[in-house]
Structure 1
């Protein structure tokens, strides 16, 4: 049986993805106007950290992006709403965006896990089961999809291709599933089978076994890499990192791994990939955790899907005691990761935010933070966790997550791994 904490991880994904049909459709949504967030206050501000109250909900900032002019956008979801918040460079709420910096959009199909991208014209694309596009000033863009929204019913994450096409990924019928939309939010039925494609990681599993993706990446040649987890059975302790690559037309790329898919084990244990990144040389990095959140897990792959022998041990690294939720590649090839770890007594209700850096060969970079890691609290107590990070052009690191107080949390670190006193405070 799964431990309680591991069951929580699985449930957090499975509860959010009720699939209505095999064919992805774009649906009309009634009552889609953004509404005012109830408080209008930025919440607490500390040097390097900003907490934002998005009541009447307690929402997590799942994703973060930096716009061309340096403004910072964070987004998160809930049972009925999608929240988007924008900050000035110094962490103050951007009062020219939405309702004093915040937008809550009622959506027909919501979920905790969402994706985020800044697209042409500075518009903001966000969502999961429902995609929403906002104008630069935070209004619903009614030229997108059906009155500003496109409903797919299953996605947890998204990416944007060079031509503006939108690729979403999630779980459907226990498999990886992706779908592609044109830049205007209409389903691209030329992609895959009538707009969507799937990947399965074997027929020899004990059913029900669920394969679920957590990241979709666009290669420079526009092929699509989907990263997530493949489980051996419905309620057992065996799971592996899982990757699938699709061609630009939505077919499994048979030149990648084993007829388009790759699995990586971290021993006879439960290992889950949460995010990934593509290096300039085409190598693929996946990050997550192993053995009931006992430690960080990293894997790097050659462009054809084989383990990279120049990274860690046979392409794998068992790292710091932390759950890694996100990964990014610096310009110098070093690997930034962020997530959370449990405090004294490994209490799942008392966690701290963690940011760490690894060298290009998979060793902890001891010049970063405190001998390779930076651990900090977002609030006085409770579950502080980071879910996404982005590197600014100046090398400073923006992270987003949730605080024990139930607020959006955004923090910024210097390139050396210290909380940035010019942000928040």
Structure 2
């Protein structure tokens, strides 16, 4: 179903900006926009927006929910997304991973799976599988990273499923297309949760999340595991393929530390982003933190002298996304304000230099504030080869349980890029019936074009429809030479 083009453009100076911690937001006020840059790409689905309404029933059961967890671009330009698929016949957890595929043109690829979509599960039948990510592989296939959930430790068992371009299982991989990683060296009582996955340039997969009781007390600790392209655990990484990171505070209390993002720099070092909480802080503030590992999984003590650092922004934040500056391996970090009474949701973006120091020359005294109207949140970051930074997420225009896709673009200095829609920011809406809660949850770059995916639902606590929305934006990098780099 094609969406009606309903992009809303912010007029320069015509959007209300708020502040946080006395930080000023300076909007770029000069320079002419390149025509179309930041607008939906009309070569994708006719208006830049592709929709897929998930089925409302499956195998005789009502479909309760389908999320949008990750998006990837295959070698031929096809777009694939993955999210948790839940039916009334499941238990308290999700049933399987729902994968949808679009052709490079933005049309649903009806030759894929069940007519453009496919269920992926780790057992013979869908049961208690959550979704972690989807990653491209050579030959236009894909890896679906999933986790089998249970109430008992280890809580989740990691699985990798390899699909062919048509959605069928690639039986040359693992056991009939699937690999389950049921053992780990973190201890018999360890509990693990997986949050995401990244494909390294050498084809290996790095899956990250957090663990409890894995050698650093009972609170959550950063965790990562590296998997070879054939599905085996890379035992040359960390402790038999696994790494956990935890520590105590000055009073010898273990700290809760949850990993929510990961990126790999040009030297193969792994940067894990997340937040920690103060054991003695009554407000349980979330403080952004980064850990950098050497390619072999050891802590990189060249980063802040310890391999990790906290960035206390004098508030409570979570870290939904990090990205690497390809020029100098600087680390871009998005920190969303944790919702509290009387605080307008918003995001701070900052940059940490490769040595672990905060870059005070970025933005305004080291920070860029993205906080507009009745609230914004960033869910994904990317850095182009020309060092310009793209952020995507959602914006709440009215505070009345209505949200839209949101994107911003910054120069490497942190200044908003006014060649992107005239002022560096834009809102995007889909025409999808009553589904006016439209939240972008994942992004990647197709060449240099942002490709943003998310979930469209009606308002209310138990919406009765779930629609996948995929947005592709035009890019001035394409206009310069006429080619998609």
TM range (shorter): 0.7 to 0.9
Q: Does 1:305 align with 2:356?
A: yes
Aligned match of 2:99: 84
**Equivalent position to 2:75, from 68, 74, 91:** 68
Change (3 A) 1:205 1:138: farther
**Structure 1 residues 249, 52: CA separation in 2 closer, same or farther (over 3 Å shift)?**
same
Count of aligned residue pairs for this structure pair: 369
Structure 2 stretches lacking a partner, 5+ long:
1-44, 58-62, 86-93, 148-158, 182-191, 213-219, 458-464, 478-485
- In the other structure, the counterpart of 1:286 is 333
TM-aligned CA distance change 1:409 to 1:111, over 3 Å:
farther
From 140, 146, 165, the counterpart of 1:122:
140
Worse overlay, 301-310 or 233-242: 233-242
Q: Quick check: 1:323 aligned with 2:355? A: no
Cα drift, residue 112 of structure 1? 5.3
Deviation at 1:340, TM superposition (A): 0.8
Distance (whole Å) between structure 2 residues aligned to residue 146 and residue 206 of structure 1: 45
Match of 2:474 among 390, 414, 421: 414
For normalisation by structure 2, the TM-score amounts to 0.70
Per the alignment, in what secondary structure is the counterpart of residue 350 of structure 1?
coil
1:248 corresponds in structure 2 to 295
Q: Distance in 1 between matches of 2:422 and 2:248?
A: 42
Query: In the alignment, which of 157, 168, 171 is matched to residue 139 of structure 1?
Result: 168
Structure 2 partner of 1:158: 197
Which range is displaced more, 274-283 or 211-220? 211-220
Deviation at 1:401, TM superposition (A): 0.7
What's the offset of the Cα at 1:354? 0.7
Q: What SS is found at the alignment partner of 1:312?
A: coil
Residue among 198, 201, 208 paired with 1:169: 208
Give the Cα separation in 1 of the matches to 2:251 and 2:114: 49
Q: CA RMSD in A?
A: 2.6
Deviations 1:114-138 (A, max 9, x none): 2221123322012242322111221
Equivalent residue of 1:157, what SS? strand
| Cα separation, 1, equivalents of 2:252 and 2:467 | 40
Give 3-state SS (helix, strand or coil) of 2:72's partner. strand
Unaligned runs of 5+ in 1: 1-44, 418-425
Would you say the 8 A contact 1:158–1:167 is kept in 2? yes
Larger Rg: 2
Counterparts of 1:202 and 1:146 in 2: how far apart (Å)? 41
Residue number in structure 2 paired with 1:27: none
Contact 1:241 1:271 in 2 (8 A): yes
Residues 357-395 of structure 1: per-residue CA shift (max 9 Å, x gap): 1121112223322622111223444421111222222x4
Paired residue for 2:41?
A: none
**Offset of residue 165 of structure 1:** 1.9
Change (3 A) 1:309 1:229: same
